[in-house]
Each structure stands twice: as structure tokens, then as C-alpha cells.
Structure 1
Amino acid sequence: MRISTAQFYESSAANYQKNFANVVKSSEEASSLVRVNTAADDPVGASRLLQLGQQASMLDQYEANSTTIKATLGATEAVMTSITNVLQRAKELAIGAGNAGYTDADRRANASELGQIEEQLQSLMNSKDENGKYIFAGSKGDTVPFTRNDDGTYSYNGDQVTLDLAIGDNMSMATNSTGWEVFQQAINTSRSEVTRTAPVVDDGRVVLSNGQVSSSLTYNSKFRSGEPYTVDFVSGTQLQITDSGGNDVTAEASQGGAFNPATAAGQTVSFRGVDLTLNINLAAGDTAAAVLPGHSFTLAAKPDTFTATRSPGNPTATQVTGSSITNPVAYHASFPTGSAVMKFTSATAFDLYAAPLTANSKIVSSGTVAAGVATASGVSFNLAGTPAAGDQFSVAVNTHETQNILDTVSQLKTALNTPINGNPILQQKFQAALDSGIGNLASGSDQLSSALSSVGGRGSALDTQVDTNQSLVLANTQTQSAIRDSDPAEVMTRLTLQQTMLQASQLAFSKIAQLGLFNKV
């Protein structure tokens, strides 16, 4: 077969260039030990490397999120532990104040320390993290979570939103614990109340405490369904309890409503999840049979109360000075649970919304103002001043089912500051208030312990997920290396072969070039 000189040179050059390119590529691979630099090197491997790279980026983000959560959980745990220690001291002071040998001065000394504890608790509950955000404010990190109202109670200004971060492909974790969950949801053991109805003038013979809820389950399922109850003393050793329907339910009380006026132990009455303390104060010459019949009390759950706060941008200085439920049926039917917003449209009319108020909020009910009283959905608000269109008030609803530990400490402080020396009736009321405070401190501590356990549980789960992520990082790195990196022995063997082929093509070119006709002339 004959080939032209041009064809020979072109074929030889193409073969040389191919071999030279192979040598260059293998040399670069031998130098970097990277097999896949572009998709053309290995289409399937390049696609797999892209997926692994995306996974590696996500794992890096998971690691950053885990670091953030670990720091936040650590700060939260430290603050909660400090609060636990402070509450323990408050309980010690409360229990000590019940000492029969304490004087009013001794109790005031305890009250003074409780005041310091109250301030310390508020400071801890308003703690900030390393970024300057309030730890217990939920998603409202720039808002002070707990503030003191004008009436001495406390309000939670944060929300119930947890800030979740992804720490795995199908796992997210809350970075924070809201103040609502940790401090606002402690069960209030003192959410029933007793009101004397007879005699009209208190003769001091009978003191019946507001009661302590000993079983929330029984209280919610039985007590609430029959309130208000009437407690009548029908003899010197027997009381009768009737529910709101007039049914005699005395059989459900401890000892069937019987009591012993001669002993303190015999004057405790338990009824539908509520423990009541009965104090009989007989004067000289009195007999229980003669003076106790005719005494009557009403027993019911504490009615909901409201705390109204004016918005800072109100056009007037009008304030809400008081509130009360004037129509229970309308209240339970339509008033927003939790919190509401009053928005005045004029000096005599306003609309009621469920909080928070947004552009899409719908009016719950409309109210009117008459003689300085604004009424809507069965609740009346006393106004100091004349409102104007644009005035807004935030209304927090307190159902008394739960109680903030700050309110508990504040109430205890008030009870300890009240003089009771030499007055048996005041002493009995103080003891009831003290029992209430100790019970609510225990409830608040239990709620805090539950929240602290939640933080610990999240920390443990986070550690496990971090270990899992680290294993995935290692596997990802190894898999990428197996696809992308070269085998040094294989690369060097291939390079040697390609260099030999390049040398052979050079030698072949020189030999064949000598066979041309011009070399024979």
C-alpha cells in the first residue's frame, strides 16, 4: 500500500500528540494523585463526587449548628441551675417562717431576703446569651421576657416559639427553652377560693382556707364541673356541701363532711381534689353546737383576672385601672384565651381582637364605653381618662391554673410582711398563705426540673447526633477519596507504559522517515 509523504507526517504527528498528551495527563495525575478533575475524566464518578460534596457541605452546616446549640444549651443549663439554687433558698425561708417561735420581726427579716431573691430571680430569668439575646424570650430575643406590672404581678413578654436548627438529614433541635414553658406553666396549687356568705358580719368563729389543689386530675374533672359550691355548717361537727345544681355532694368530702372542733387534725377537709383547712375559734363559754350552725361559705375556682397594658404609641394617656367579668356566659363564649388586644375606634367604641394583632386579624367582638367603663365579651374595663381612636391595650388573661415563680415569691414576701402576732385569725390566714406559697414553690421547682431535664436530654441527643455526623464525615471523605484519588502504583505503571509508547512513536517516526524516495536519490 502506498501512502503519501503528507499522510505519513500527519499520521505520525497525530500519534505522537496522542501519546504525548497521555504522558502529560498521567504525569499531572502522578503529581497530584487526583484522578477525576473534570466530568470528562469519569462522568459517573464526577456525578457521585458532586453529591458527596453537597453532603459534605451539609455536614459542615450541621457541625456549625451543633456548636451553636451546644453553647446555648450550656448557657441555659447554667442559668436554670442558678435559679434552682435560688428557689431552694426561698423554700428554706418559707419553711422557716412557719416556726411557731417566730415573731413579726423574724418574718420581716425573711421577707427582706425574699425581696432580694425576687430581684435575683428576675435578673436570672432575663439573662442574655453571648450574642446579647434574651435566653428565655422565645423568638423575641430583643424583648425583655419578664417585667413587673404596676400591681406587683409579673408578665411574660416573650412568645412560645422555639428556634430549631437542623443537626441531621431528618433531625432538628430547639436551641432555646421559652420562659413560657419553663416558668409560666408551673401548676398553681392555690386556684380555688372561699367566700363567707353568712353571717354577714364575721364573728371570727370559723376560718375556712381557700384550699390547696392536691389532685389536678380530680380538680379539673370533678370540682370544676360542680362549682360554685355552698358549704354550710349544719351542726357543731358536721358540714354540708351542695353543688351549683343544689345536689348534696357531702359524701365526697373526707369523713363525709364530719369534723372535730376540738383538734387541729380533725379540722382538715378534702373535697374533689381540694384540701381545705378549717379553723374553729371558740370563745370562752361557746359550744360548737351552739355557735357553728348558720355559718356558710361559697367554694369555687378563682375567677380569671386581667392585666391591661397600654401601647406606647397611644394618642392619649388613658389607662385601664381595673377589670372584672360581668357576664360569665359571654366571657366563656367569646373572650380570647391567653391574651387579647383592645383597639379603640372612637372615644365610645372599640374592637376586641385575639393577640397578636396583625393585618389579617378578625374582630372577636365590638364593645362600647359608658361612664368610663369599656365592656366587650362579658368583661368590663375601668378607664382613667377618655380614650381616642387609635388607642390600644394589650390584655393578658390569668386563669390561675398556672403561676409564675416570681409571683409566688412576691406573694410569699407580702404574707411574711403582714403582722400577725397575737391575732389567731390572722395567724390562721398566714399559715394558709404560707402553705400556698410552699406548694407553689415546689410546683415551680418541679416545672424547672422538667425543663432542665429537657435541656439535658437535648444535650445527650446532640452528642449522639454529633458522633453520627462525624462518622458520616469520615465515610464521606473516604468515599470521595476512593472515587477521586489515584492509586500511586497504578499511575506510575501507566505513566511508564505511556512514556515507552511515546519513545517508540518517536523512534518509529525517525526510522520510517528514512524510507522516503528522497533518501534514495
Structure 2
Amino acid sequence: MRISTSQFYQTSASNYTNNFSNLVKTGQQASDNIRVRTAADDPVGAARLLQLQQQSNLLDQFDGNITSVRNSLGTAEATLNSITNVLARVKELAVGAGNGGYTDADRKANAQELTQLEEQLYSLMNSRDENGKYIFAGSRGDTQPYVRNADGTYSYQGDQSTLSLQVGDMLSMATNDSGYNVFEQALNTSRSQTNLTFPVVDDGRVSLSDGQVSGSTQYNDRFRGGEPYTITFTNNREFKITDAANNDVTLEATGGGTFDPSKSASISFRGVEMRLDVNLKEGDDPDTAIAGYSFNLASKADEVSGSRSPGNTSSAQINSATITDKSAYSDAFPGGGAIIKFTSATNFEVYAQPMLPDARPVASGALTGTPATKANIAGVDFDFSEPPAGGDQFSVKVDTHQTQNILDTISEFRKALEMPVDTDLASRQKYQAALDSAIGNLESGANKVAEAISSIGARGAALDVQAETNESLKMANTKTQSSIRDADPAEVLIRLNLQQTMLQASQLAFSKISSLSLFNQL
């Protein structure tokens, strides 16, 4: 076999270059202890490192999200704690207002303080976070959640959704609570009402309050199934209650239908507590003066109201909204409220609230009358003050009396405190009923706020657990990356010494062999 001089030099140079490259690479590993720099170093390991780095980046994002959620929850919790303090003070005023020694002046003084508390609560419920977003507007952070209506009531303008951030591979956490869930879902204890049916003209002898729902389960399971009820007084000490089917259900009432007419009595019937006062007049028969007096007892009927959108081009208002067909209303009218959108001056479409961008109309129609200002939508008659313009929108609110927001509760209580009752027995009885309603609804509203605070605490605890889980995953990720990417120091040093020796040997061999020549043998 013949080896030319050029082949020898080329082979020797190539070997030397490879040995030198290996030595440099190993020397770099010895200095920074990194084995895999490119995919060529270890294709499988490099692919695994890429996956692990993606997981590490995701875990870093989760950590940032956890911090954001904690900050949002902390702001909401602080605001709700302030609201709790306001409600506690309002409840103190309500309990104190039941003092028999209070005069109209005392109650008006309390009403003035209550006005300030109402404003403070209104401000707190419209609080913003550090980014200027409304805390309790749901997913509509740029929309003020609560507005004050012309009649002094309050309406919720946010939605029922919440904003969430992913804090773990399989866990997303709500960053806020909607005002709908916190403030709009407080059970209304004033869901029943009584009406004097005989005598036709109220002579003041018998006063029976609308009642307070003391047991929701019993009210929903028993009371709603038998209404309306008729309460008839058989004499000055006894009454009878019959249900809608004329069944005698008196035994389910407190005392089996007996009471003491000399003092205010409390009647408890199927989850409803009513206050009964008998005010006999001079010359009345002490045994039969109120015999035959009767009341109708039932749940409050739904009420529908509407308001115009601020962006409407016309000045049309909804004058009235009346339920005329209860069956059609129950079957088809949106229970959560509706949006009436006019496509022209007479034609309209109806959408269920909240109206999302891709929402479809649930009904449509045209105004009737001359001028065209009347409409019937799913059993509800609407009367507009004037024909609306195309593009006008009207928000329709349905009050089922099942819930009541705490702002409306305080507003009604304030109005009751402003009533003059010192010289009017009937007004005092109405005031007492309003006070009972205020205390019950304040308790219900405070419970919903407490539930929201508890929910925030539970989410905070879940965040702590998830943060620990993420930290464990990060540690395992770092360890796995190190095992794939990092070199073994002992192995690297041994290999470095070997490659240094090989490089020196190749240099020596090249110098020796390159000095050999056939001419040296001649």
C-alpha cells in the first residue's frame, strides 16, 4: 500500500484538528460544567431540555398569575371587610330604632347618619382596583357596577361572570367576585304580603303585617304550594287560615289559630312571620268586634320595570310595564331581565340579559296604538312615553322579590326612619313592619358578604397549596434539566487529561514521521 506525502499530511492535520477540537470542547465543559449546548451534542437530551424549559417558563407564568390573583383577592377582601363594618353599624341603628322611647326627632337623626352610611356603601360597592377596573363589575371592569335610579333605587350594571387566571396545569382561579353574586343574591325576607279583603275600608281595628320569611325551605316547600291563603278572624281571640283549595290549615299556625288581643302577637305560618295588632275602639264588643275580618296572604307578585339607555337618540321612556298574562309571562319572559332594541321607530327585538355580542333575539314585534307607543312582550304590556327611534335600547328589570341588594335595603330603611309615627298608630305599625324587614334583609345581605369573604379565604388557601406545588415542580424541573445538561466533573477531567495526552502524542508522531524520507536511506 502506497501512502503519498500529501495523504500523510492531510491525515495528520485532520487528526490533530479533531483532537484539538475535542480538547477545546472538553475544556469548555470543565470550565462551565455544561454538556449539552446544541442538539448535535445530544439530540434526545436537547429535545427533552426544550420541553423542560417550556414547563419552567409556564411555571414562572403561573407564579406571576398567583401574585396577580393574590393582589386582586386582597383588594376585594379589604373592600368587603369595610362593607361589613358599614353593615354592622347600619344594623346597630336598626336595632336601636326599635327602642320604644325613640321619638320622630331621634329617628330622623339616625336617618341622617344612615344617609352617610348609604353613600359610603355606594362608594365601596363601586370600588376600583390598582388598574382602575371596577372590582365588583364581573367581567365588565370598565362599567360602573351600581347606579342610582331616579326613584332612589339602585341597579346593577355589571354581569354575572368573573375573570380567571390559570395558576396551575389543571387549575384556574377567579380573580374577582361579581356584584351580582355578592350583593344581588341576598335573600329578601320580605317576600310575602297581606291585603285586607273585609271590611272593604280599613277601619284600623286589625293590622296584619306583610310578614317576614323566617324559613326559606319551609316557605318554598309549603307556603308557595298552597297560596293564596285567606286569614279570617272568627272572634277577638281566634282566626282561621284556608289555602287556595279552601283546606283548613290553621293548625300549622302559631297557637293553632289563637292569640292575645291585648298585645302585639306574632303569627308564624309555613315559614312566614307576621305581626298582628288589634286596636279595639271604645264601645266595641270585646269578644266579637273583629269577627269576619279577613286578609289575603300570598307571595309578592313579580314586578317589571324599564329604563332607557343613556345613548338613546330619542327621549322616550317606559311609562309602565304591567304583567297582563301570567301564563305567557312565566313561560316566555326572560327571568333575568331583558333588553328591548328598536330596529326602527316601531319594530323591536327582545334579548335576554346579559346581551352578549353573539346574542340572538328571543322575541320580536312592533309597537301598536296611535301614536305607536304600546307593546306586548310575552304577557307584559309596555307603554312608552313616545315612539322611540331606531337604535334605541331599553333595559327591563324583573323583580321577583326573591332577592334584594343591600343598597335598596338601606334606602328603604332610611325612608322608614323619616316617617312621622309618634302620633299615628297606623303609621307606627307600618314603621315597625319596615323595621322588621330592614333587620331581616340586613342580616341576609351581611351573610352574603361573609360568604364572599369566606370564598376569598378558601381561594387564598388553594393558592398557597398551588404555589407550593408549583415550587416543587420547579425544583424537580431544575434537577432534571441539570441531570441532562450538566457534565460529570470527574469524567470531564479524566477525558480532558486523555485528550491532552492524545493531542501531544499526535503532535510528536507527526514530527517524527514527517522527518522520514527515502532520500535519507540513499
TM-score range, shorter chain: over 0.9
- Which stretch of structure 1 is more off in the superposition, 380-389 or 334-343? 380-389
Separation of aligned partners in 1, 2:93 and 2:84? 14
Q: Which amino acid aligns with 2:209?
A: S
Report if aligned partners of 1:348, 1:370 keep a CA contact under 8 Å in 2: no
**What letter corresponds to residue 113 of structure 2 in structure 1?**
E
Instruction: Summarize the Cα distance change of 1:348–1:45 in structure 2 as closer, same or farther, 3 Å threshold.
Output: closer
The aligned counterpart of 1:77 is 77
CA-CA distance at 1:381 after TM superposition: 2.6
| 2:21 pairs with 1:21 | yes
CA apart distance, 1:384: 2.0
Q: Structure 1 residues 123 and 50 mapped into 2: Cα distance closer, same or farther (>3 Å)?
A: same
Number of the residue aligned with 2:429 = 428
Q: How far did residue 258 of structure 1 move?
A: 1.9
- Cα offset, 1:314, TM superposition: 2.5
1:261–1:288 Cα contact (<8 Å) kept: no
Does the CA-based 8 Å contact 2:367-2:375 persist in structure 1? yes
Which amino acid in the other structure matches residue 78 of structure 1? A
| 8 Å contact kept, 1:353–1:365 | no
Q: Tell me the residue number matched to 1:307.
A: 305
For the residue of structure 2 that corresponds to 1:7, the secondary structure is helix
Cα-to-partner distance string for 1:415-462 (whole Å, 9 max, x where unaligned): 000000022222122111101101110111111000000001101111
| More divergent stretch after superposition (459-468 vs 229-238) | 229-238
User: Does structure 2 conserve the Cα–Cα contact (< 8 Å) formed by 1:367 and 1:376?
Assistant: no
Matches within 5 A, 1:14-53: 14-53=14-53
For residues 166 and 390 of structure 1, what CA distance do their matches in structure 2 show? 39
- Give runs of aligned pairs for residues 55-204 of structure 1, distance below 5 A: 55-204=55-204
Residues 164 and 250 of structure 1, relative CA distance in 2, 3 Å threshold:
same
Counterpart contact for 2:263–2:277, Cα < 8 Å: no
Gaps of 5+ in 1: none
Aligned to 1:207: 207
Q: Deviations over 1:314-359 (max 9, x none)?
A: 2321111332222211211111111112234555554433223455
Alignment of 1:242 with 2:250, yes or no, is: no
Q: Counterpart of 1:416?
A: 417
Does the 8 Å CA contact 1:187/1:401 hold for their aligned counterparts? yes
Say if 1:16 and 1:389 are closer, same or farther in 2 by CA, change over 3 A: closer
Q: Which residue of 2 aligns with 1:323?
A: 321
Structure 2 length-normalised TM: 0.96
Residue of structure 2 in register with 1:402 after alignment? 403
Question: Shift in Å at residue 471 of structure 1?
Answer: 1.7
CA distance in 2, matches of 1:12, 1:135: 76
Contact 1:365 1:377 (8 Å CA) reproduced: no
CA RMSD, aligned part only?
A: 1.7
Amino acid at match of 2:461: S
Take 1:9 and 1:278, find their aligned partners in 2: how far apart are those partners? 119
Q: Secondary structure at the match of 1:515?
A: coil
Instruction: Judge conservation of contact 1:339–1:354 (CA < 8 Å) in 2.
Output: yes
Letter in 2 for 1:517: L
User: What secondary structure does 1:12 align onto?
Assistant: helix
Say how many residue pairs are matched. Answer: 519
Aligned counterparts of 1:240 and 1:415: Cα–Cα separation in 2: 31
| Partner secondary structure for residue 318 of structure 1 | coil
Is the 8 Å Cα contact of residues 343 and 351 (structure 1) preserved in structure 2? yes
String of CA shifts for 1:167-194, please: whole Å, max 9, x gaps. Answer: 1111110001111111111111111111
**What letter is aligned with 1:430?**
Y
The one-letter code sitting in structure 1 at the alignment partner of 2:319 is: T
CA-CA distance at 1:379 after TM superposition: 1.4
Cα gap change, 1:368 to 1:297, in 2 (>3 Å):
farther
3-state SS, counterpart of residue 289 of structure 1 = coil
Cα gap change, 1:309 to 1:36, in 2 (>3 Å)? same
Which letter maps to 1:15?
N
* Superposition deviation, residue 360 in structure 1: 4.3
Deviations 1:42-101 (A, max 9, x none): 122111101110100100100110110010011001000000001000000111111111
Q: Residues 365 and 385 from structure 1, CA distance in 2 versus in 1: closer, same or farther, beyond 3 angstroms? A: closer
1:362 is matched with: 361
Alignment-mate amino acid for residue 208 of structure 2 = L
Distance (Å, rounded) in 2 between the aligned partners of 1:460 and 1:432: 42
Residue identity matched to 1:439: G
Per the alignment, residue 465 of structure 2 pairs with 464
Inter-partner Cα distance in structure 2 for 1:359 and 1:77: 34
Match of 2:220 in 1: 220
The residue identity in structure 2 corresponding to 1:269 is I
Q: Give distance in 2, aligned partners of 1:8 and 1:89.
A: 100
Q: Is 1:211–1:277's contact at 8 Å kept on the other side of the alignment?
A: yes
SS in 1 for 2:338: strand
Q: Measured at CA, do residues 178 and 331 of structure 1 come closer, stay the same or move farther in structure 2, by a change above 3 Å?
A: same
Greater Cα shift, 49-58 or 279-288: 279-288
Bigger shift: residues 433-442 or 249-258: 249-258
Q: Say whether the 8 Å CA contact 2:351–2:359 is kept in structure 1.
A: no
Preserved CA contact (<8 Å) 2:77 2:453: yes
Secondary structure of 2:109's counterpart equals helix
The alignment partner of 1:421 has SS state of coil
Q: CA-to-partner distance for each residue in 1:264-292, whole Å, 9 max, x for gaps?
A: 3xx22111110111111112232343221
Separation in structure 1 between the aligned mates of residue 251 and residue 347 of structure 2, nearest angstrom: 50
- Counterparts in 2 of 1:337 and 1:129: CA distance versus 1, 3 Å: same
Question: Match for residue 280 of structure 1?
Answer: 278
| Structure 2 SS opposite 1:165 | strand
Structure-2 residue corresponding to 1:270: 268
Spell out, residue by residue over 1:95-143, the C-alpha distance to the aligned partner (whole angstroms, 9 max, x if none): 1111111000000000111111110001000000000000000100000
Cα drift, residue 496 of structure 1: 1.5
- In structure 1, C-alpha distance between the alignment counterparts of 2:367 and 2:266, rounded to whole Å: 47
After superposition, the Cα gap between the structure-2 partners of 1:95 and 1:66, relative to the gap in structure 1 and judged at 3 Å, is same
Deviations 1:490-512 (CA, angstroms, capped at 9, x unpaired)? 22221121011000011111112
Q: How does 1:441-452 map to 2 (within 5 A)?
A: 441-452=442-453
User: Distance between the aligned counterparts of 1:94 and 1:8, measured in 2?
Assistant: 107
Query: What TM-score, normalized to structure 1?
Result: 0.96
Check 1:368–1:298 CA distance in 2 against 1; reply closer, same or farther (3 A cut).
farther
Once residues 369 and 278 of structure 1 are traced to their aligned partners in structure 2, the CA distance between those partners, rounded to angstroms, is 47
- Which residue does the alignment assign to 1:374? 375
